[in-house]
Structure 1
Amino acid sequence: MGVRGVPGRPSVAVMDRTPGRRDDDLSPTPFDRIGHLIRPAWARTPVVRRVAAGALTLLALALAVRGDPGDDREPVVTVTRDLAPGSVLGAEDVRTTHLASSAVPAGSVHTVDDALGHTLAGPARSGEILTDVRLLGSRLAGAAAGPDARIVPLRIDDTEVAALLRVGDRVDILAVDGEHSAEPRVLASAATVVLVSPGEDGRTRRGPVVLAALPENAATAVAAASLTGALTVTFH
């Protein structure tokens, strides 16, 4: 742009004619004019733009917290309070909770009726999801000792030894034939302890009830030996 002066008159700005430049480069297009007419004046203010950006941010956060609405939810049974091993589950011990399918572990118990009356194999914390291997039954025996496994009670006379046992321990089970026999017999190897319930104190002290998972043949031998003699265990 140049400035031309005429003596005795104010200077007048004159647009330079630059070769190759069109005069309508700075003119709005028809689309610009239409957008200007459609969008109200208040929507073009910086405040409105900031409010709209904030609203979109809040919407994105809400969607993130909500998660995928297409994710199905399933009922599972959870424990309502801390429970000791050997507890027989009652209506006050369990409740139904709905969780996303992706968060439900395999083997979960889905109805309260399927849990009532069953014996808890190990300690459970309040809010813990019950699964089939947390309850005494064929699933627990199979997981511990194979598809033909059986659960057998161990009558261990030494209550102090029995009190040392914990769920998941691997032990060998031995029998002593006769009171003065010096040679114990190994009835079963690598038995898995699946339940140790608290002992009882009374006129006659009773040790904890111990259940172990064993293959069928070994379980039969242990059960028979426990009727006639004392049992003990060695730890792995």
Structure 2
Amino acid sequence: MRLPLTRTSMGPRLRDRATHAMRPGWARSVAIRRTVSLVLIAAAVTVGIQAQRTETHTSVLVAAHDLAPGHALVAADLRQQSVPIDLVPEGALRLSADGEAHTVTGPIGSGEIVTGSRLLSPRLPVQLTGDADARLVPVRLADDSVASLVRAGDVVDVLTADTDVLASGAIVALVPTAAAASPTRASATPPILLAMGRTAAHRVAGAGLDVPLAVVLH
């Protein structure tokens, strides 16, 4: 015999259904908690990686393109790049203002880290020689062809035509390109710049006023 539905027998079911409908299901709650957990884990990993990268990398200036000796730097010649700290050479430039308007002393390849020793500055003679009293001296060579043989960083002795040694162990700081030659003397080669101690620099500069000089490479 089928019993009639009464208000008392229907009451609990309706309440249970209403309560169940108003709260998220168990599966949905678990999914939400898992999603939140994964997001938090991903954020923590990202922050950790970024922190580690910051500790192991630093920003330096590199050449935006190939740079030739004698070139005066402008902002477009340099760009910032993050590199591992253990690969940063001593004297690496970090601010554009440190490089702009300075003259390049030797070839710098695109992407190469720019250091103070590659640019003409008051600090260059000291950096090249290790002598706190060092000077830069322009030397016009007796044999123009020799200028094409020397490179920035070469060690040379400076002599007169009579083979008198004016300076020993001078460091070549800059060898201008052929484009820097005097427009009034097409065959003239610009002088090279040598870094040496103050006494030797004065001696070489004085002798160079009268006659071109010669250099001997070490």
Equivalence for 2:192: 210
**Structure 2 residue aligned with 1:36:** none
What's the offset of the Cα at 1:59? 9.6
Structure 1: gaps of 5 or more residues = 1-39, 42-57, 177-182
Give the structure 2 partner of residue 153 of structure 1. Answer: 138
The Cα shift of 1:78 comes to 1.9
Give 1 or 2: higher helix fraction: 2
Aligned counterpart for 1:173 among listed residues 158, 165, 168: 158
Q: Is the 8 A contact 2:139 2:212 kept in 1?
A: no
- In the TM superposition, residue 108 of structure 1 has moved relative to its aligned partner by 2.2
Deviation at 1:140, TM superposition (A): 2.1
2:85 counterpart letter in structure 1: S
- Taking structure 1 as reference, are residues 186 and 127 closer, same or farther at Cα in structure 2, changes over 3 Å only? same
Q: CA deviation at 1:62?
A: 7.0
224-233 or 102-111: which moved more? 102-111
Question: What SS does structure 2 have at the residue aligned with 1:141?
Answer: helix
Amino acid in the other structure paired with 2:114:
L
* 2:103 partner SS: coil
Q: In structure 2, what is the Cα distance between the partners aligned to 1:165 and 1:215?
A: 20
Q: CA deviation at 1:71?
A: 1.8
Aligned AA (1:84): A
The CA distance in 2 between the partners of 1:70 and 1:212, in whole Å, is 40
Sequence identity of aligned pairs in percent?
Answer: 39
Bigger radius of gyration: 1
Per-residue CA distance 1:23-49 (angstroms, 9 max, x = gap)? xxxxxxxxxxxxxxxxx99xxxxxxxx
Separation (CA, whole Å) in 1 of partners of 2:46 and 2:94:
30
Maintained 8 Å contact 1:75/1:98 = yes
Q: Which has the larger share of strand?
A: 1
Structure ranking higher on relative contact order (CA contacts 8 Å, 6+ apart): 2
Given that 1:75 and 1:111 are in contact with CA atoms closer than 8 Å, whether structure 2 keeps it comes out as no
Does structure 2 retain, via aligned residues, the 8 Å contact 1:94–1:112? yes
1:162 aligned residue (127, 135, 147): 147
Q: Alpha carbons of 1:69 and 1:136: their partners in 2 closer, same or farther (altered >3 Å)?
A: closer
Superposition TM-score, scaled by structure 1 size: 0.64
CA distance in structure 2 between the partners assigned to 1:65 and 1:160 by the alignment:
55
**Matched positions, count:** 187
Per the alignment, do residues 72 and 170 of structure 1 end up closer, same or farther by CA in structure 2, a change over 3 Å counting?
Answer: closer
Verify the 8 A CA contact 2:60 2:82 in the aligned structure 1: yes
Matched residue, 2:210: 228
Q: Which runs of 5 or more residues in structure 2 are unaligned?
A: 1-25, 28-41
